[in-house]
Chains A and B, each alone.
Chain A
Protein backbone atom coordinates (compact mmCIF):
# COMPACT_ATOMS: atom_id res chain seq x y z
CA UNK A 1 0.00 0.00 0.00
CA UNK A 2 1.24 3.48 -0.79
CA UNK A 3 1.99 5.65 2.19
CA UNK A 4 1.76 9.40 2.44
CA UNK A 5 3.39 10.88 -0.63
CA UNK A 6 5.05 14.29 -0.56
CA UNK A 7 6.65 16.32 -3.28
CA UNK A 8 9.14 17.71 -3.91
CA UNK A 9 11.61 15.89 -1.65
CA UNK A 10 14.05 18.78 -1.92
CA UNK A 11 13.50 22.38 -2.92
CA UNK A 12 16.08 25.13 -3.11
CA UNK A 13 14.78 28.57 -3.91
CA UNK A 14 15.66 32.20 -3.52
CA UNK A 15 14.17 34.59 -1.03
CA UNK A 16 10.95 36.12 -2.32
CA UNK A 17 9.96 33.19 -4.50
CA UNK A 18 6.76 31.25 -4.09
CA UNK A 19 7.05 27.69 -2.80
CA UNK A 20 4.35 25.03 -3.09
CA UNK A 21 4.62 21.75 -1.25
CA UNK A 22 2.27 18.90 -2.08
CA UNK A 23 0.86 15.97 -0.18
CA UNK A 24 -1.22 12.93 -1.05
CA UNK A 25 -2.59 11.27 2.11
CA UNK A 26 -3.33 7.61 2.54
CA UNK A 27 -6.62 6.73 0.92
CA UNK A 28 -9.46 6.64 3.45
CA UNK A 29 -7.77 8.83 6.03
CA UNK A 30 -9.99 11.71 7.13
CA UNK A 31 -7.30 13.78 8.83
CA UNK A 32 -4.32 15.52 7.31
CA UNK A 33 -1.62 17.38 9.22
CA UNK A 34 1.20 19.67 8.13
CA UNK A 35 4.26 19.87 10.40
CA UNK A 36 7.49 21.81 10.20
CA UNK A 37 10.74 20.48 11.67
CA UNK A 38 13.77 22.61 12.49
CA UNK A 39 16.73 22.14 14.79
CA UNK A 40 15.75 25.16 16.87
CA UNK A 41 12.01 24.52 17.30
CA UNK A 42 11.68 20.79 16.78
CA UNK A 43 8.42 19.53 15.30
CA UNK A 44 5.67 22.16 15.04
CA UNK A 45 2.10 21.57 13.95
CA UNK A 46 1.16 24.17 11.35
CA UNK A 47 -2.38 23.21 10.41
CA UNK A 48 -4.66 20.22 10.21
CA UNK A 49 -7.74 19.25 8.21
CA UNK A 50 -10.64 16.96 8.89
CA UNK A 51 -12.67 15.86 5.87
CA UNK A 52 -10.90 18.52 3.78
CA UNK A 53 -11.91 21.33 6.15
CA UNK A 54 -9.21 23.27 8.03
CA UNK A 55 -9.81 22.74 11.75
CA UNK A 56 -6.90 24.48 13.43
CA UNK A 57 -4.44 26.76 11.69
CA UNK A 58 -3.12 28.42 14.83
CA UNK A 59 0.37 27.08 14.12
CA UNK A 60 0.70 28.78 10.77
CA UNK A 61 3.48 31.28 11.37
CA UNK A 62 2.10 34.22 9.40
CA UNK A 63 0.08 35.29 6.41
CA UNK A 64 2.81 34.22 4.04
CA UNK A 65 1.77 30.64 4.72
CA UNK A 66 -1.42 29.12 3.37
CA UNK A 67 -2.73 25.58 3.06
CA UNK A 68 -5.53 24.05 1.06
CA UNK A 69 -7.15 20.69 0.70
CA UNK A 70 -9.37 20.79 -2.39
CA UNK A 71 -10.23 17.10 -2.14
CA UNK A 72 -9.62 14.05 0.01
CA UNK A 73 -6.52 12.99 -1.89
CA UNK A 74 -4.54 16.19 -2.18
CA UNK A 75 -3.26 19.08 -0.08
CA UNK A 76 -0.86 21.94 -0.66
CA UNK A 77 1.17 24.16 1.62
CA UNK A 78 2.19 27.42 0.01
CA UNK A 79 4.71 30.00 1.14
CA UNK A 80 4.63 33.36 -0.63
CA UNK A 81 7.00 35.13 -0.45
CA UNK A 82 9.55 32.74 1.02
CA UNK A 83 12.25 33.85 3.46
CA UNK A 84 15.48 32.17 4.64
CA UNK A 85 13.94 31.49 8.05
CA UNK A 86 11.38 29.25 6.36
CA UNK A 87 14.14 26.74 5.64
CA UNK A 88 13.06 23.49 7.28
CA UNK A 89 11.74 20.02 6.61
CA UNK A 90 7.98 20.06 6.09
CA UNK A 91 6.09 16.88 6.87
CA UNK A 92 2.63 15.85 5.89
CA UNK A 93 0.85 13.18 7.95
CA UNK A 94 -2.53 11.53 7.69
CA UNK A 95 -4.68 9.52 10.06
CA UNK A 96 -8.05 7.88 10.29
CA UNK A 97 -8.39 8.33 14.04
CA UNK A 98 -5.78 10.63 15.52
CA UNK A 99 -7.49 11.05 18.83
CA UNK A 100 -7.62 9.22 22.08
CA UNK A 101 -7.71 5.57 21.13
CA UNK A 102 -5.26 5.24 18.31
CA UNK A 103 -3.29 8.39 17.76
CA UNK A 104 -1.27 6.90 14.94
CA UNK A 105 -0.17 9.39 12.38
CA UNK A 106 1.39 8.17 9.15
CA UNK A 107 4.09 10.55 8.00
CA UNK A 108 5.45 11.22 4.56
CA UNK A 109 9.20 11.38 3.96
CA UNK A 110 9.17 15.16 4.13
CA UNK A 111 10.04 18.05 1.85
CA UNK A 112 13.34 19.71 2.66
CA UNK A 113 13.13 23.41 1.83
CA UNK A 114 16.15 25.68 1.59
CA UNK A 115 15.55 29.37 1.00
CA UNK A 116 18.70 31.26 0.03
Chain B
Protein backbone atom coordinates (compact mmCIF):
# COMPACT_ATOMS: atom_id res chain seq x y z
CA UNK B 1 0.00 0.00 0.00
CA UNK B 2 0.89 3.66 -0.10
CA UNK B 3 3.13 4.93 2.68
CA UNK B 4 5.48 7.71 3.72
CA UNK B 5 8.68 7.32 5.73
CA UNK B 6 10.34 10.26 7.45
CA UNK B 7 13.57 10.55 9.37
CA UNK B 8 13.11 10.37 13.09
CA UNK B 9 13.60 13.44 15.21
CA UNK B 10 14.21 15.52 16.98
CA UNK B 11 16.45 17.47 14.68
CA UNK B 12 18.34 20.04 16.71
CA UNK B 13 20.06 22.94 14.96
CA UNK B 14 21.54 26.32 15.70
CA UNK B 15 20.03 29.37 14.08
CA UNK B 16 21.20 29.92 10.47
CA UNK B 17 22.17 26.26 10.02
CA UNK B 18 21.19 24.26 6.94
CA UNK B 19 18.22 21.96 7.32
CA UNK B 20 17.39 18.68 5.61
CA UNK B 21 14.52 16.44 6.65
CA UNK B 22 14.37 13.24 4.62
CA UNK B 23 11.15 11.80 3.25
CA UNK B 24 10.66 8.78 1.02
CA UNK B 25 7.44 7.31 -0.21
CA UNK B 26 5.89 4.16 -1.63
CA UNK B 27 2.95 4.60 -3.95
CA UNK B 28 1.10 3.13 -6.87
CA UNK B 29 0.29 5.58 -9.59
CA UNK B 30 1.42 9.19 -9.48
CA UNK B 31 0.66 10.84 -6.15
CA UNK B 32 1.07 14.49 -5.25
CA UNK B 33 3.50 15.16 -2.40
CA UNK B 34 3.22 17.64 0.46
CA UNK B 35 4.95 19.03 3.49
CA UNK B 36 2.78 20.18 6.38
CA UNK B 37 3.99 22.03 9.47
CA UNK B 38 2.54 21.95 12.98
CA UNK B 39 3.52 24.75 15.36
CA UNK B 40 3.09 24.14 19.10
CA UNK B 41 -0.54 23.98 20.16
CA UNK B 42 -1.86 24.31 16.62
CA UNK B 43 -3.22 22.15 13.84
CA UNK B 44 -1.26 21.23 10.75
CA UNK B 45 -0.96 23.70 7.89
CA UNK B 46 0.26 23.22 4.35
CA UNK B 47 3.87 24.36 3.84
CA UNK B 48 4.49 23.35 0.22
CA UNK B 49 3.52 20.81 -2.39
CA UNK B 50 4.55 19.25 -5.72
CA UNK B 51 2.17 17.51 -8.05
CA UNK B 52 4.44 15.75 -10.53
CA UNK B 53 7.97 14.44 -10.96
CA UNK B 54 10.75 17.05 -10.94
CA UNK B 55 8.43 19.74 -9.59
CA UNK B 56 9.90 21.87 -6.84
CA UNK B 57 7.63 23.19 -4.12
CA UNK B 58 8.77 26.22 -2.14
CA UNK B 59 7.47 28.50 0.59
CA UNK B 60 8.97 30.62 3.40
CA UNK B 61 12.49 29.65 2.34
CA UNK B 62 11.72 25.92 2.43
CA UNK B 63 12.07 23.79 -0.70
CA UNK B 64 11.43 20.19 -1.71
CA UNK B 65 11.82 18.49 -5.09
CA UNK B 66 9.67 15.56 -6.23
CA UNK B 67 12.20 12.86 -7.21
CA UNK B 68 10.48 9.93 -8.85
CA UNK B 69 13.69 8.00 -9.46
CA UNK B 70 14.54 7.94 -5.77
CA UNK B 71 10.91 8.17 -4.53
CA UNK B 72 11.93 11.05 -2.30
CA UNK B 73 10.70 14.51 -1.31
CA UNK B 74 13.31 15.85 1.09
CA UNK B 75 12.65 19.18 2.81
CA UNK B 76 15.47 21.75 2.85
CA UNK B 77 16.08 25.25 4.10
CA UNK B 78 19.32 27.13 3.77
CA UNK B 79 19.18 29.05 7.03
CA UNK B 80 16.75 28.11 9.79
CA UNK B 81 15.33 30.48 12.38
CA UNK B 82 14.14 29.89 15.91
CA UNK B 83 10.60 30.49 14.64
CA UNK B 84 10.92 27.40 12.38
CA UNK B 85 10.81 25.16 15.44
CA UNK B 86 7.85 22.88 14.81
CA UNK B 87 6.90 19.38 13.71
CA UNK B 88 7.10 18.73 9.98
CA UNK B 89 4.98 16.10 8.24
CA UNK B 90 5.56 14.65 4.80
CA UNK B 91 2.40 13.42 3.06
CA UNK B 92 1.17 11.99 -0.20
CA UNK B 93 -2.23 12.00 -1.82
CA UNK B 94 -3.53 8.57 -2.68
CA UNK B 95 -4.21 8.90 -6.41
CA UNK B 96 -7.22 6.55 -6.21
CA UNK B 97 -8.98 8.01 -3.18
CA UNK B 98 -9.30 11.37 -1.51
CA UNK B 99 -7.01 10.51 1.36
CA UNK B 100 -3.80 12.13 2.44
CA UNK B 101 -1.32 9.71 3.96
CA UNK B 102 1.00 11.32 6.50
CA UNK B 103 4.41 10.34 7.77
CA UNK B 104 5.08 10.18 11.50
CA UNK B 105 6.41 13.74 11.67
CA UNK B 106 9.86 15.12 12.48
CA UNK B 107 10.34 17.58 15.29
CA UNK B 108 12.72 20.46 14.55
CA UNK B 109 14.25 22.46 17.37
CA UNK B 110 16.25 25.56 16.50
CA UNK B 111 18.30 27.28 19.18
CA UNK B 112 19.64 30.84 19.08
Contacts and interface: CB of A to CB of B under 8 A. Distances in A.
A108 B43 contact: yes
A98 B83 CA distance: 28
A14 interface: no
Interface stretch (A40-48, A69-77, A80-88): A40-48
B61 interface: no
A48 B44 contact: no
B25 to A, nearest CB: 13
B99 A48 contact: yes
B43 A103 contact: no
Contacts of B44: 43, 91, 93, 105, 107
B102 A101 contact: no
A93 B31 CA distance: 20
A43 B99 contact: no
B43 A107 contact: yes
Contact of B102 (A42, A99, A110): A42
B99 A56 contact: yes
Given A42-B104, A109-B43, A100 B93 contact: yes
A110 B101 CA distance: 18
Given A45-B101, A56-B97, A100-B93, 5 more contacts: A42-B105, A48-B98, A55-B98, A56-B99, A109-B41
20 contacts: A4-B43, A43-B89, A43-B102, A45-B101, A55-B98, A56-B97, A56-B99, A98-B93, A98-B100, A99-B97, A103-B34, A103-B91, A103-B93, A104-B46, A105-B44, A105-B100, A107-B43, A107-B44, A109-B42, A109-B43
Closest 10 CB pairs of A and B: A107-B43, A42-B104, A103-B93, A43-B102, A98-B98, A107-B44, A104-B46, A103-B32, A99-B98, A109-B43
